[in-house]
Amino acid sequence: MSFPLRLISRQRAGWLLALFFFVNPFSKAGVEILFFLLLGVWLIRWVAPAFQRSSSTLWLLPESRKVSLPLAAYLALCALSAASSSFPLLSVQGLIRKTLEYLLFFIMASDIARQPGSCRRISMALLAAGWLIVAYSPLQWWAIHQVALPGIAQDLIRHRPLSYGRIVGPYENPNDLATFLMILILLVAGRILWRPFEPHRALWVLGILLLGSLALTQSRGGILGLWAGVLFLISLLPKGRGVRLAALLTLGLTGGLILISKGNLPDVLAFSDSGSQERSIMWNAACRMIRDRPVFGMGLNTFMANYLAYADSPNQGPAYAHNCFLQIAAETGISGLLAFLWFLTALFSLLWRRLRESSSSEEPSGSEISWLAGLTSGLVAFMVQSMVDTNLYALRQAALFWALGGAALGASLVRLKRPLAP
């Protein structure tokens, strides 16, 4: 065991996790490959030594119990829903190939990110991906506006049709791009607002470009998540910093730009546009599934398989619920949704207490804490956008959330000298 332990240092594992965050927006295959690489490293560096008592994984320590208990409850209820599923094979496949993989992302990232400097490495990887995306966005915008009709423009790099008439970056649709952009905006904002006396010229430039790119996605879910993330970030800031009004004004201007750029502002405000109507059909179908099987749901990974039997429009093809919380309840029942909400409450309360504790003290780890504040705000934004989109059911988005949540948990415990208060 000593040779592979020397070969795979924990610092190298940290760089491998950072590589995952850089690759995430660009490649589904890269996400899958890095999952297995991270799994091998984690088993060698954290799990095997734990059995020899030479070191231990975070998940064997008392600090993790506040999160591990609801996580185990959620996994157990997912398994129960698979056992009583309307499509058992689909549920078993979803349990193994999706749920377990995502939970392993969370567990592995928490262990790897517990090493000092992890937050900075992850943040730098995400920002590097952000620079590439903001360089890519103007090319797509130019291609869209060079054609007479929307929907027939071609991506100049990937040679795919830009059928939405909006920029999508390296993703298939603009809402997924908005998810990544809002997380990066909050990461930049956390660094700038938490440490205002450092020069941040490059971050200011990147932040402005990211806001512009977010506006070009015209994603209302993205701006809604961004508002929530900034409000959370503001709640963490030490008192007396004159940045709150500026942050809110920036959000207001960005939201207004997105709504105006859609060209149908009255319909948007009345929720009578086509996107809102489609979501209404999807949400009604989810509610009917919950009503029919409220305890353990229709079965994990079966929403699309059951959709046509419950949708108002039988000619419409299978679809996700476009509300992750409703879909969790439809597939795993109200019990599964409550377990997931228990997990989120435990995770965010732990991170919030850690950040508040740090903001009220003079810690030498202030640089790391500023990155952690941005990452945590990004997670808040992600969950808010999940109320109107499919974030937890798209591979890259779901892997990003679980890995980012695990990394934030691990990083929050890097220099923890005493247990968090209950």
Q: Are 420 and 64 in contact (CB under 8 A)?
A: no
Find the helix packing angle between 174-194 and 201-217, rounded to 10°: 150
- Report yes or no on 420 lying in a domain: no
Position 247 scores a pLDDT of 64
Q: Answer whether residue 418 is part of any domain.
A: no
Report the pLDDT value the prediction gives residue 1, as an integer from 0 to 100: 46
d(CA 412, CA 351): 7
Per-residue burial over 287-305, b = 16 or more CB atoms within 10 Å of its CB, e = otherwise: bebbeebeebbbbbbbbbb
Q: What is the per-residue pLDDT for 274? A: 67
CB-count exposure of residue 314 (10 Å: 0-12, 13-18, 19+) = exposed
Please give the model's pTM, rounded to 2 decimal places.
0.90
Query: Total structural domains in the chain?
Result: 1
The pLDDT score that the predictor gives to residue 243 is: 58
Whole-angstrom Cα Rg for the chain: 22
Low-confidence ranges of the chain (pLDDT < 50): 1, 3, 54, 242, 269-270, 362-365, 416-422
Does a structural domain hold residue 278? yes
In a domain, 421, yes or no: no
- Per-residue model confidence (pLDDT) at position 341: 97
Does residue 312 fall inside a structural domain?
yes
User: How do residues 239-286 score in pLDDT, each as one tens digit?
Assistant: 655 455 566 656 666 666 665 555 555 555 445 566 677 888 899 999
β-strand partners of 421: none
pLDDT of residue 395: 92
Q: Give a yes or no: residue 23 inside a domain.
A: yes
Residue 354 resides in a domain? yes
Q: For 24-53, write each residue's pLDDT tens digit.
A: 999 999 999 999 999 998 888 887 765 555
Asked if 78 and 332 count as a contact pair (C-beta separation under 8 A), the reply is yes
* Residue 365, φ and ψ in degrees, nearest 5: -90, 25
Structural domain includes residue 422: no
The boundaries of the domain holding residue 323 are: 2-412
Q: CA 177 to CA 181: how far, in whole Å?
A: 6
